[in-house]
Structure 1
Amino acid sequence: MILALLWGVAAPLSLAAPLITEFMTDNETVLADEDGDYSDWIEIHNPGGTSIELEGWHLTDNDGNLDKWAFPSVTLEPGGFLVVFASGKDRSVPGSELHTNFQLNSGGEYLAIVEPDGTTVAQEYAPEYPGQDPDRGYGLAFEGVPVIEEGADAQFLVPSDGALGTTWTESGFAPAGWSNGETGVGYGLQIPGMTVRDVHSTVSLTSLSRADAALAGNNVEKETVTVTPVCNFLDTGGDGRFGNNLPFPGGGGDDYTVQVTGTIIIPTSGTWTFGLNSDDGGRIRIDGVNVMVDATLHGPEDHFGRRVLQAGPHTIEAMFWERSGGAEMELFAARGSFTSFNSNFKLVGDTVNGGLPVFTSPAGTNGAGLVATDVEEEMRDENSSLYLRIPFDINDPTEAGALSLSMRYDDGFVAYLNGTRVASSNVANGAPAWNARATAAREGSEALEPEIFNLTEFSDLLNEGTDNVLAIHGLNIDPTDDSFLLLPKLLSGGVQQDESFYFDDPTPGSINSTPSSRGKVEDTKFNPNRGFYSRPIRVEITSETPGASIRYTTNGSTPTPTNGTPYTGPISISSTTTLRAMAYKTGMDSTNVDTQTYLFTDDIIRQSSSAPPGWPSGSVNGQVYRYGMNSGVVNSNNPAIGGVQQVKDALVSIPTLSIVLDQAGLTSSGQGIYSNPGSSGYAWEREASLELIHPPGWVDPDGNPEGFQTGCGLRIRGGFSRRTQNPKHSFRLFFRGEYGNGRLNYKLFGDEGADEFDKIDLRGPQNYSWAQGGTSQNSFIRDTWSRDLQGEMGHPYKRSRWYHLYLNGIYWGMCETDERAEA
């Protein structure tokens, strides 16, 4: 029962029964169903030596309804696999794709396969499987996998005659004169998406010609090359026409240019309009011809160009450049002739929503890493066939309860195991000739997806030791064809049923990959929790996972299994402290980092003007730092100015925000955002913790019963206030999945505003403040009053609330949340 609770696995069962060996509850990109939807899926495996007729067997996610969904007539061969989509679409036609009448819960639930009597559970994940992650599999491990990995050492030959016959497929063959390489072997393969070059310049990019010069390699500070599915980038400033923006690959900032290239597939001949929404200017080329040129500097704007195109492939190139300020870039297209934006336009590459398909061969990776050995020179225009040999060893062939061949290929192949033909595709009957061609072509996208072949019936061909070879005769559709690929993976092993694992490399329909994790360490708990305290406390940190270790820090740094103090017992805290902790255990996923800020007003009012430990003692890159409370205010006997008790009362009169992050990311000369306030963009965003802490006895006028803690991305914001003479900068906080929770789900402004946020600003009074000239005009209410008045007059307005702010436990004055109109 303990194992079932921790791992969600029933006790070991008979290998004669079908098993659920892997499933996925949050399928975002791994496997699409026949409708193009990325539905949940369940993998069924036959671990036995005889075929299993699945008709009448059941799948269920409800232990009170064991016969919830029934299999149709399906035969599962020995060692075979079957993928059933848990989509809720309820399809059970023999020979067609199968869909259950239920979906899976990513948070965890019951899952079982049930015998035809509808009452006998053959295997169950009970009482429920644990919480799942996007694009991550969960299920049973296989002993002895993999045998041949992608990237394996191999020998290859483009034959010039048929003298070798099939002798080259045997394990004892000596490949004299063959070339060596690594799999995959091929050339010219394209993948979905666009190649993106992000080039940062050492000079100001004040014109299109300067941007082109940077793309040509002149005055380059750095260059980043990647592949993205669409061109939809946003750094700072206003957005364009589409949401779900990507960060610029090079990190954003000023004076850089971005070029995207690929091959679009035009479905219907006719006039097509291409658009670029960018900040600043840009250009679009189709088949090397300019269709739009915008050589001006501006904010987000649409610019269009039209071209009559024949159906089929066409090259596309778009670029933009950024001088300063906001930056964004979107590339879209629509059939027809248009001069302004409308709903017909879709992002190029966004095929799910009707956008044009686009493919690319990224420079330097030849098929995004699928092709490790380029054979275009040896093969293209010479022969449509290539021989490939991959020697391998296996310790105990008798443990091969299942044997699978996973193939990515373009266009056809015949596979031999120690001289015996075991699998083939797109090849004529009989032994193919030395110059044979594939019987059908495969589209580039097909070649990217692995096709699984069950070789379990050939397991007895395996030899113990090193006397084994997988030989593959690859066939192209024509010697002149522009692409070819052979990328095999051989998997062998028997299923283990004692516990379940997470798989970072999911393999629907095949033997599972090497397990990534036995489970997740239970989150850390703190007692007492964050808040205000007047007396020393002892904080206990726990995790409910037996045998888990905990490390903690009090200097803002991120604890890891190798950084921080090992937790051995309650921690004594008597002054303002930021406590960060994580739990870990070998073979399991570590927890995230939890942050708790403990505030002592007696300590805060005495924070010194001297640099706190870890903080700069002087200016950094010209950036001025000032610390501590104003003793003239704290110790004043004039109640109109301050006084100890009045200042302490003020610190708990409104809620508090505590930002905690690695000190180097905040203040170091090279990477600290506060010490480089003029730098902007994604490259100058640092991961941080944000806590909203209610003071004792606080009744929130916005109706929130308690505060929150969440991860975020932290940047400096502002214009004139970014000057290094200013010791108090404003911040922008980003809430994205990479920091844990995605959006911030919290009513910062009660029912007055939104209850979820992608970003929020924290600002202090800048034009009228002690930090900007010591002016006496600072009233802290001018901007807020004017915005609220605008709202009271019935116009759209930005909301705000006041808070006390702490950076790594150091009091940083007052700030206000500043709602962003696009957030």
Structure 2
Amino acid sequence: MKPLISLRSLLACGFYTFLLVTAATLIFGVCSPRAIAAPVLVEFMASNDRSLYDEDGQSSDWIEIFNPDPTSIDISGWFLTNDPSELDKWELPTGVVLPSGGSLIVFASNKDRDVGELHANFKLSKEPGGYLALVEGDGQTVANGYIDYPEQFDDISYGLAQTGSGSDVTIIPENSISRILVPTSDIGTTWRDRLFDDSSWPSGNTGIGYDYGNLIGSNGDVRSETEDTNATVYVRIPFTIDSPESLTSLTLRMKYDDGFAAYINGTLVASAGAPASPQWNSVATADNPDSAAVIFEDFNIPIGPNLLGKGGNILAIQGLNRSTGSSDLLVLPQLDATTAATNPGLGEAGYFQSSTPATSNGTNQGLPAGAVTFSIPGRGFTNSVSLELSVASPTADIRYTTNGNVPTASSTRYTGNPITITSSQIIRARAYSNGLAPGPVSEEGYIELSSSAESFSSDIPVVI
């Protein structure tokens, strides 16, 4: 399987092979990957379990669009699709501009959202023969994509090898100057916005709270205002971005006790232990233990087309305690970013054991190890079952469990001798091979039956 490339790229390489699908002509061939025209679908994940969470806290499938060209490109009105017969399936909103070396994450969640965090109106298939394409604004010209992509695996992404990397920068460090308010009445929600006038609020350095020692910044202690009064504190931290288009990823790192809701320029970007619609006197919905509160927890922030402004921006956080009588409170943010890659290069398509949404993919990490085959399918038995396991690769190790747990590299190694099953068990197995990702988990269940079941017969189907 090769990535689709544009017509102008193929003509430059002397390739004219084409495939006609409905009204659109999909051009593909084996031209050098460096000839792939901007922009490209550089990485996607069709079976996301825990690699990246969306704003709803769900592990939706995702797609990364990357611009390898030296100039910015406006892809407003372009389309993403998982169906070659419907090339204009989901339209990118107005204002989507990819800087040179920049990336955009679109969740393939079937939620159909084009404001803030972007969600397409389809999901991706993990089965072999899948289709994914980026289509130009005419709804017919396929700019780049994958036709008949191979089987996809849990938390293993697929895409193009990529060299070059961006720079990591801290936009808001710990101990940043902020404005603080413990509300005594409802002041609405405009305090989250960039242009809100907070000049009358007291200032202090982050972290904000009390009883967390040197994590509490200068003038950041709010015990007297919150204790036995209000479990909420508002914090506003200004920051400046000279070139929003140069940022490819944002990460909010939080030390917090017990909950928070964070907004950039009025848009909710992350939360934990917060009610769905926080009020001026809300409390956290769950405890965050002291041992966890002092360790940064990272929240990926997709950079939507209107999230950041050039110049002044605001990070507004509503800190939440579990109760007004709590013995401690902490709101300590750090905002990190990655800038666009310099001199990005693209290689062949392949799997990545460690996905890299919105950052450089690096080199391909190879196919996962093959699936384990069971000599006997799951069934009921009366005496015993002698089970053999096998995998296509002669150099792969098979690891298995008999307690239903997912096998790891340290699980029992299958040595080639049959596994004798004498009681009801679930056998789960997967293959491990040097340089490859672990193979898919294969499993079968074996149910021990009473000896009288051997002579039992019935014209009525029996479910075990």
Taking structure 2 as the reference length, what is the TM-score of the superposition?
0.51
**Alpha-carbon shift at residue 566 of structure 1 (Å):** 4.7
The equivalent position to 2:275 in structure 1, one of 331, 351, 360, is 351
Give 1:584 deviation, angstroms. 1.6
Find the aligned partners of 1:444 and 1:313 in 2 and give their Cα distance.
6
Q: Which residues of structure 2 form unaligned runs of 5+?
A: 5-27, 188-221, 236-257, 260-271, 303-307, 320-330
Indicate how the Cα distance of structure 1 residues 29 and 70 shifts in structure 2: closer, same or farther if over 3 A, else same. same
Letter in 1 for 2:132: L
Corresponding residue to 1:141 among 161, 164, 173: 161
CA distance in 1, matches of 2:447, 2:62: 45
The alpha-carbon deviation at position 488 of structure 1 amounts to: 5.7
Q: CA deviation at 1:547?
A: 6.1
> How big is the shift at 1:532?
5.8
1:584 to 424, 432, 454: 432
Distance 1:596 1:36 in 2: 32
Query: 1:68 aligned to 2:94?
Result: no
In structure 2, the residue matched to 1:122 is 143
CA distance in 1, matches of 2:459, 2:226: 58
Q: Distance in 1 between matches of 2:455 and 2:84?
A: 46
| Matching residue of 1:524 | 372
Match of 1:187 in 2: 174
Aligned partner of 1:78 among 89, 95, 100: 100
The equivalences for 1:275-674 within 5 A come to 309=230, 312=233, 349-352=273-276, 356=282, 358=284, 366=294, 368=296, 441-444=314-317, 485=334, 487=336, 489=338, 492=342, 494-502=344-352, 504=354, 506-507=356-357, 510-512=358-360, 518-531=366-379, 539-543=387-391, 548-551=396-399, 560-561=408-409, 564-568=412-416, 571=418, 581-585=429-433, 586-592=435-441, 594=443, 597=446, 651-653=450-452
Tell me the residue number matched to 2:64.
Answer: 43
Contact 1:407 1:488 in 2 (8 A): no
Aligned residue identity for 1:18: P
Deviations 1:684-703, CA, capped at 9 Å, x for gaps: xxxxxxxxxxx7867799x7
SS across alignment from 2:276: helix
Q: 1:398-450: per-residue Cα shift (whole Å, max 9, x none)? A: xxxxxxxx999xxxxxxxxxxxxxxx9886xxxxxxxxxxx66533589xxxx
Q: Equivalents in 2 of 1:188, 1:87: separation in Å? A: 37
TM-score (norm 1): 0.32
Do the aligned residues in 2 keep the contact of 1:583 with 1:591 (CA within 8 Å)?
yes
CA contact 1:17–1:46 (8 Å) conserved in 2: yes
The separation in 2 between residues aligned to 1:120 and 1:524, in whole angstroms, is 41
1:188/1:366 contact within 8 Å kept: no
Q: Tell me the residue number matched to 2:243.
A: none
Question: In structure 2, how many angstroms separate the alpha carbons of the residues matched to 1:110 and 1:267?
Answer: 55
Which letter does structure 2 place at the counterpart of 1:81? S
Cα deviation code 1:70-116 (max 9, x no counterpart): 44665433323233444546566xxx658566221464542111345
SS of alignment partner, residue 126 of structure 1 = strand
- Paired residues, number: 342
Which residue in the other structure is 1:741 paired with?
none
- The alpha carbon displacement at 1:59 in A equals 1.4
Greater Cα radius of gyration, structure 1 or 2: 1
Contact 2:389 2:414 in 1 (8 A): no
In 1, are the aligned partners of 2:79 and 2:92 still within 8 Å (CA)?
yes
**Counterpart secondary structure, 1:352:** coil
Supply the distance in 1 between the matched residues of 2:353 and 2:234 (Cα, whole angstroms): 37
Aligned ranges for residues 94-243 of structure 1 at < 5 Å?
97=116, 99=118, 102-105=121-124, 107-108=126-127, 109-116=130-137, 118-128=139-149, 130-131=151-152, 133=154, 138-145=158-165, 186-187=173-174
Measure the CA separation in 1 of the matches of 2:315 and 2:30.
44
Letter in 2 for 1:542: S
For 2:84 and 2:168, locate their aligned partners in 1 and report how far apart those are by CA, in whole Å: 39
Query: How far apart, CA to CA, are the structure 1 residues paired with 2:172 and 2:97?
Result: 35
Q: Superposition RMSD on alpha carbons, in Å?
A: 5.9
Note closer, same or farther for the CA distance 1:698–1:67 as it changes in structure 2 (3 Å cut). Answer: farther
Contact 1:41 1:85 in 2 (8 A): yes
For 2:441, give the aligned amino acid: N
Write the distance in 2 (CA, Å) between the matches of 1:290 and 1:357. Answer: 11
Supply the distance in 2 between the matched residues of 1:514 and 1:442 (Cα, whole angstroms).
Answer: 32
Any stretches of 5+ residues in structure 1 without a counterpart? 151-182, 190-262, 271-285, 292-306, 315-330, 333-347, 371-405, 409-423, 428-438, 447-481, 600-649, 655-694, 707-823
Counterpart contact for 1:10–1:124, Cα < 8 Å: no
> Which residue identity does 1:651 align to in structure 2?
S
- Cα distance in 1 for residues equivalent to 2:393 and 2:452: 39
Shift of 1:55: 5.2
Q: 1:558·1:580 contact (CA, 8 Å) conserved in 2?
A: yes
Aligned to 1:278: none
Question: Aligned-pair distance for 1:129?
Answer: 5.7
Say if 1:564 and 1:132 are closer, same or farther in 2 by CA, change over 3 A.
closer
| Displacement after TM superposition at 1:588 (Å) | 0.9
CA distance in 1 between counterparts of 2:420 and 2:355 reads: 43
Structure 2 residue 41 is the aligned partner of structure 1 residue 15: no
**Deviation at residue 522 of structure 1 after TM alignment:** 4.3
Contact 1:492–1:511 (CA under 8 A) maintained in structure 2:
no
For the Cα contact (< 8 Å) 1:54–1:75, is it kept in 2?
Answer: yes
Q: Per-residue CA shift, 1:139-191, capped at 9, x if unaligned? A: 33322447x668xxxxxxxxxxxxxxxxxxxxxxxxxxxxxxxx8994358xx
- Relative to 1, partners in 2 of residues 1:488 and 1:104: Cα closer, same or farther, differing over 3 Å? closer
d(CA) in 2 for partners of 1:310 and 1:576?
55
**Counterpart AA for 1:80:** G
Q: CA separation of 1:562/1:29 partners in 2, compared to 1, >3 Å: closer, same or farther?
A: closer
1:581, CA displacement in angstroms?
3.8
Residue type at the aligned position of 2:144: Q
**Structure 2: which amino acid aligns with 1:187?**
E
